[in-house]
A and B are shown apart, each in its own frame.
Chain A
Amino acid sequence: MPEYRWPEIGTTSLIGKRINRVDGPEKVTGRAKYTYDLKRPGMLYGKMLRCPHAHARILSIDTSEAEKLSGVAAVHIVQEPGTEIQWAGDDVVAVAAVTEQITEDAIRRIKVEYEKLPHLVREEDLAKAGDRVKPFTEQVTGDPDQAFQAADTVVVEGEYGLPVVTHCCLEVHGQVAEWEGDRVTIYPSIQGVERVAGQYAQALGVPASNVRTLMQYVGGGFGSKVAADRWGTACAQLAKKAGKPVRLMLERKEDQEVAGNRPSDFARIKLAATRDGTITAWQSESWGTGGPGGGGSPPIPYIWQIPNQRKIHSAIATNCGPARAWRAPNHPQACYLTMCPIDDLAAKLNMDPLDLVVKNVSLLGPRAELYRQELAKAAELMEWKKNWHPRGDRSPGPMKRGMGLSLHTWGGGGHSSECQVSIHPDGSVEVSLCTQDIGTGTRTVLTIVTAETLGLPVEAIRLNIGDNRLPPSGNSGGSTTVGGVSSSTRRAALNALEQLFLTVAPSLGVSPEQLEAVGGQIRVKGDPTKSLSWKQATAKLGVASIKEMGKQPGPQPNPGELTSSGVGGVQMADVSVDVETGVVKVNKIVAVQDCGLIIDMKTAESQVYGALIMGICYSLMEERVMDQLTGRMLNANMEFYKLAGLADIGELVVHMWTDPEQQRRGVIGLGEPPVISPGAVIANAVASAIGVRVPYLPLTPPRVLAALEKGGMV
């Protein structure tokens, strides 16, 4: 059995280099087909009639007029009369017809009577939430009362908060469903091709073996595309009834209202330190909503092991579309709610926040030393010490500049994964596993791992993913994909190579252990003159291909293994604020990030760039605006749900931490962690610029101006 390790640092020809995304040309030329692009023969267009009320009971449904309309092929009631609807936009009746227009016309002909029930769709004011508040139990560590009252203690108190934001995947949720007898093929837009198959089987009441799921490209998920969803099952039901394939993709408006969001979090926070800046105590009363279920509690204080704590969280049940995992669930909120008070504490202590953080670095646990080094690197890239000024930029004119910092962590250990690597007699190589590339670069990484292991160029590898008949390799969530699938692929490739060595060793007159695969050759270690080209070698297989499996059990705790868990990073932002208009512009963000062994530097950096952009969006612009009077989301579009464009981004500096110690930790996920800190760094930079805390994200002109009016510099 081969030794399952990554190649020695410094010996690789592909791993760790900057390699272009292998599917880049497919994507930019439009050859890559997303679910939205699929057009199956005879395909019908499905749409959903949705409940216009935030809270209501369905009294009756009359679909007769819709069914009469010519071109309508199937009508399927998703929620029957009597059902209590908990959020506006929830699915009621699905329709499929020969054109989108006819489907829409049919939907308009359906008559549904509702009994309207009282709703709550806003949660930022805890006092107005009434019986919708579900308090968790209070948690106390140490002796917070004593710590807050101790002599020589400096205390800051404030309110902070982040609203609900949505995922805004470039491709909305949806799928195509097609039956052949009692077998169904689903083409979903999903983060888990394999797992969703089981969900369809269960929901449709067919044997799991009858469900095939296929997906090559998905236009983003960010945590929101991990389930079959009621509209997915309804799509399959429509296809069954109609006897034709049906495509049902959500409208953008629907996607915004019902297909997931990140829970809000608001908090009243008290934080204490001794006068020399040693952090001693934390107290928080927090609340937020994840929709009708209320939602979970953010892990605050985030990453700081503050000795004395009192905290209580309340979940508020609202009549809004339910939350889903949103890139690093709960971490961006917790990070914001922690790093902003820490920044305010530094201001009150008249300390540079960098000094305060470094002074308390021991509260950061086992990662403390790495954080210290990363802080130093980020400070260097930001020229922090040169540019930092005490709160409030005193320079003349309306443009004020400031800097902020934050740090974060994430798990990211690889999930279990199985992979098959085949080496064919003609020299071609196939890698097969049921994973998916959700834009994170999975295809590229797997191609690199296989090519590196077999000593081949990336072009020589053919990769099969996105099909539930391939070896199971899990959902893409929690940044667990890259660690899992790169490890199973490495194992499978090493196993296959071992078989190839066994076959060709006799012809080179050596034992298999003496062979290596380098530069398109199988050669004898230490004697490069004794070699076979890859093709000569594989020709010796005769007619039988090598097919070897690799099984990765999940994360491995010991250093030197293929994947482990636990990454972190430090970010710093430099912003300008126009104090006459409240408009904030990001000048620069520095991100220093560790994530173990990096397979492709380019796609790794891409993850960080993307996260920073997403971070700028949720810090400055994004917010789900719910209207208490109508119970509806008012900005369920791409117009008043604001996202940054290129000109709003500023300079992004990404530094991946690649010291040998990191590389020995194996491959660890990276998709989520860099999106955690931007809220805190940008908000802290704004406070540094204008001399006053703007408590709530997004940092919009009205909020910035209100904060300035309360106690800013003008």
Chain B
Amino acid sequence: MKAFEYAAPSTKEQAVALLGDRWEEAAILAGGTDLLSCMKDNLMAPSRVVDIKGLRDLGGIEYNPQSGLRLGALVTFEQLREHPQVLSRYPGIVQAVEGVTSAQIRNRGSVGGDLNQRPRCWYYRNGFGLLAKDEQGRSLVVDGENRYHAILGNEGPAYFVNPSSLAPVLIALGARVRLFGPKGGRELPLEKFFTIPKTDSEHENVLQPNEILTEVLIPAGSWQTATYEVRQKEALDWPLAAASVALKLGGAQVQEARVVLGHVAPIPWRVPEAEKILTRKTITEEIAMEAGKAAVGQARPLSQNGYKVQLARVAVKRALLRAVQGGA
């Protein structure tokens, strides 16, 4: 790990002033569960670490039936899981949180950190670069070990999957994010926050090196949500594929549906093809299966990850059934 300066500002203005114009200058520290691993592995070597845990207005969960749900960036997984309204109204969020089976990470990991964590691609984490290329510029992933890589949005040069478990369900709920930078704040749909980098120096989202993600806003609305993750094991691990759905129901009929896949593409992957199938339908096993099929219609697996197509299909089906049945 490179030696660094540690700063602990108490306002977001101070924090932003401590950040730099380039990623190498400074990094934001929230729970540190990802940042510190990246620094220890020399994937990130910021000269300054800006600890934002002292920024009061970045905390807190507020629910209001008129305005919806507001999550401060510093809210932890565990706080989400314990919040009465999140528990009762947003089971899809809780299911995503509970997939993270480490108490330590749930206690420490934050919403802002989850949305900004770096990909777990094993080439990237072993120091072969975000886009994992050999000396000739060829992708290591395409001809290499790609069992955990992307099946969608993988035209290249990025093949990693977005690691966030919260992003799919938040996008399904139409969440917006607020960013704060030297010129003040800006707000955008979370769906538009994530981007697929084309070069090694780009990141996986629109955040600028001197910006902070300050909060997540979920508009009011009565959505049935569910998340289904396919995990090989129950102890701490990453999903092989996941789906989050949000359904607006009129009686048993779907008025509007949002279906978002996780861990299958370099960004959380919204699938309008599946949403279309669900509109004005009653969710049955058959419809759910059809939506699952449609969700992976565009999938183009790499040499070793064809199985993820099946897993994503099943995840959509099971998430939909879970959303209408509640519980399991």
Contact = CB atoms under 8 A, between A and B. Distances in A.
Interface in A556-615: 580-583
Nearest to A633: B126
Interface string B131-156: 00010000010011101100000000
A155 to B, nearest CB: 31
B206 interface: no
B101 A645 contact: yes
A621 interface: yes
Contact of A629 (B134, B147, B235): B134
A101 B3 contact: yes
Interface stretch (B10-18, B194-202, B306-314): B306-314
B128 A630 contact: yes
A12 to B, nearest CB: 40
Interface stretch (B19-27, B225-233, B261-269): B225-233
B145 A700 contact: no
A37 B123 CA distance: 32
Interface in B96-142: 101, 120, 122-123, 125-126, 128, 134, 140
A582 B315 CA distance: 13
Nearest to B309: A705
Contacts of A131: none
Nearest to A104: B1
Contacts of B2: 105
Nearest to A102: B3
Contacts of A647: 101, 233-235
Contact of A702 (B134, B143, B231, B304): B304
Contact of A621 (B140, B233, B236): B233
A646 B236 CA distance: 10
A701 B230 contact: yes
Contacts of A104: 1
Interface stretch (A157-165, A176-184, A407-415, A636-644): A636-644
Contact of B233 (A620, A625, A630, A706): A620
Contacts of B305: 702
A642 B144 contact: no
Nearest to B311: A581
A634 interface: yes
B234 A645 contact: yes
A145 interface: no
Contacts of A391: none
A628 interface: yes
B62 interface: no
A210 to B, nearest CB: 37
Interface in A77-96: none
Interface residues of A, dominant DSSP: loop
B238 to A, nearest CB: 8
Contacts of B120: 639-640
A639 B147 CA distance: 15
A580 B314 contact: yes
A167 interface: no
A629 B136 CA distance: 12
A98 to B, nearest CB: 14
A13 interface: no
B230 A583 contact: yes
A554 B2 CA distance: 54
Given A581-B230, A635-B122, A627 B145 contact: yes
Contacts of B126: 630, 632, 634, 636
Given A580-B314, A629-B134, A705-B307, A645 B231 contact: no
A613 to B, nearest CB: 11
B57 interface: no
A627 B147 contact: no
A648 interface: yes
Contacts of B1: 101, 104
B3 A706 contact: no
Given A625-B145, A629-B134, A701 B235 contact: no
A628 B304 CA distance: 14
A108 to B, nearest CB: 8
Contacts of B148: 640
Interface of A: 101, 104-105, 580-583, 620-621, 625, 627-630, 632, 634-637, 639-640, 642-648, 700-702, 705-706
10 smallest beta-carbon distances between A and B, as pairs = A645-B235, A647-B234, A702-B307, A634-B122, A580-B314, A705-B307, A648-B233, A581-B230, A629-B144, A627-B145
Given A581-B230, A701-B240, A702-B147, 11 more contacts: A621-B233, A625-B122, A629-B144, A630-B128, A630-B134, A632-B126, A645-B236, A647-B233, A648-B233, A648-B234, A702-B304
